[in-house]
Chain A
């Protein structure tokens, strides 16, 4: 069987992109190998670890569980896009402040997932933060510092703090 391809057009981090892609290529391989956007990490490649979390059409998804062809006509936002807009600059600073990363492999996915809590707004209990982040594995930190960083950022925003740093 020959490699079947399909032309797709989408926006990635606000920029128009058109490519001819193998139909079996998942979204993360497309972003990393075709577009050089290596912030989205591939951990387990079967939807368990959350390292490949990103936004498609405004919704958090697992990048390894979508085919690139499925994003035709859609909008993809990766950690590079989220970083560039400054949407979670305060959360990123809090990750540094609280040592919420060690090896950093899970961090892009963790930030993408936590960004959804930031968008929802309001304070959250530590238990609620843990439940929300339960789909993202971290093998270094033991999660405590990650929950700290998310909690402190939600608190600062609830107290009127800006997401800018």
Chain B
């Protein structure tokens, strides 16, 4: 199919975008990488009156590290994030996840901010942002505000961003000494996951001192698994600890049932991934410490 008619503005400044959003609200859509919006337009699942193309906004681009946090501009393309030395050094969880994000042709266009703002429950980056305790900066003609990842994701493609707000950037604190593990299962490499996890573990001599365990492609948004963490906190990594995590998982996760996978199958797959992730963390914790 072909997109329904719309008006198109190629924006050349942030103030212009915010004014258009103020005037048009939910009748306008932001065109960034377009890798989810264009399919929706082609299938007429989305029929906005106005398309605001933000691809030429310089202030939304780039990745930088300053004062203990990484800033990823909303327009940073997946290929840029994947190749960024800053991301590789400071956010290895995201570096691991990027290997699973879509296919080259999509990564060349798709943006970090687009993935966050779309909030697909099976997408990798919202899960990483939650595991890393990221904050998102959104702007409207009234000013800017920050929203934590924990408050941002509200449901299937639903977020705390108002229709008159634009996602500007993600601010991600860098925490040293964490062990990141990112795993997912998809039917074809690069497709959306049918189960996946993003762990940031603080290990002390093989014992789980703390961490953030996030599961995605299960519920309507990425899930921070607090009960699962409680079940393994203070425990030494090993098969018994992995089984304790798996036993607690059903208290954290009530997966959705759909054509891709049943709720029962998703819970099973997340258990499989949990065992693999903790084994991988254990293997990595016994490696000699590498200093950059």
A and B pair up: yes
A132 contacts chain B at the CB level, 8 A cutoff: yes
Quote the shortest CB–CB distance from A119 to chain B (angstroms). 11
Contacting pair B35 A47 (CB below 8 A): yes
Looking at chain A, what size class is its interface with the partner chain?
20 to 34
Quote the shortest CB–CB distance from B202 to chain A (angstroms). 32
Residue of A nearest to B186 (CB): A134
Quote the shortest CB–CB distance from B68 to chain A (angstroms). 33
A103 contacts chain B at the CB level, 8 A cutoff: no
Tell me the bound Cα distance from A26 to B34 in angstroms: 11
B64 contacts chain A at the CB level, 8 A cutoff: no
Is chain A's binding surface mostly helix, strand, loop or mixed? mixed
Quote the shortest CB–CB distance from B89 to chain A (angstroms). 23
A-B contact count (CB 8 A): 93
Contacting pair B55 A70 (CB below 8 A): yes
Tell me the bound Cα distance from A134 to B191 in angstroms: 9
Is chain B's binding surface mostly helix, strand, loop or mixed? loop
Contacts of B31-45 to chain A: CB distance below 8 A: 31, 34-35, 38-39, 41-43
Contacting pair B3 A70 (CB below 8 A): no
Contacting pair B105 A113 (CB below 8 A): yes
B157 contacts chain A at the CB level, 8 A cutoff: no
Contacting pair B10 A65 (CB below 8 A): no
A89 contacts chain B at the CB level, 8 A cutoff: no
Quote the shortest CB–CB distance from B57 to chain A (angstroms). 14
Contacting pair A62 B106 (CB below 8 A): yes
B276 contacts chain A at the CB level, 8 A cutoff: no
Contacting pair B39 A46 (CB below 8 A): yes
Residue of A nearest to B4 (CB): A24
Q: List B contacts of A62 (CB < 8 A).
A: 35, 105-106, 109
Most B-side CB within 10 Å, residue of A25, A47, A64, A69: A47
Looking at chain B, what size class is its interface with the partner chain?
20 to 34
Contacting pair B108 A131 (CB below 8 A): no
Other-chain residue from A4, A29, A47 in contact with B5 (beta carbon distance below 8 A): A4
Contacting pair B190 A64 (CB below 8 A): no
Q: List A contacts of B49 (CB < 8 A).
A: 1
Quote the shortest CB–CB distance from B105 to chain A (angstroms). 5
Contacting pair A135 B2 (CB below 8 A): no
Tell me the bound Cα distance from A70 to B7 in angstroms: 14
Residue of A nearest to B3 (CB): A24
Contacting pair A60 B108 (CB below 8 A): yes
- Cβ proximity bits A3-37 to B, threshold 8 Å, 1 near / 0 not: 11010000000000000000111100100000000
Known: A4-B5, A24-B3, A59-B108. A135 touches B38 (CB 8 A): no
A45 contacts chain B at the CB level, 8 A cutoff: yes
Which residue numbers of A lie inside 8 Å of B, CB to CB?
A: 1-4, 6, 23-26, 29, 45-47, 50, 53, 59-62, 64-67, 69-70, 72, 113, 116, 130-132, 134-136
Pairs A–B under 8 Å by Cβ, sample size 6 = A60-B108, A62-B106, A131-B190, A134-B103, A135-B104, A135-B105
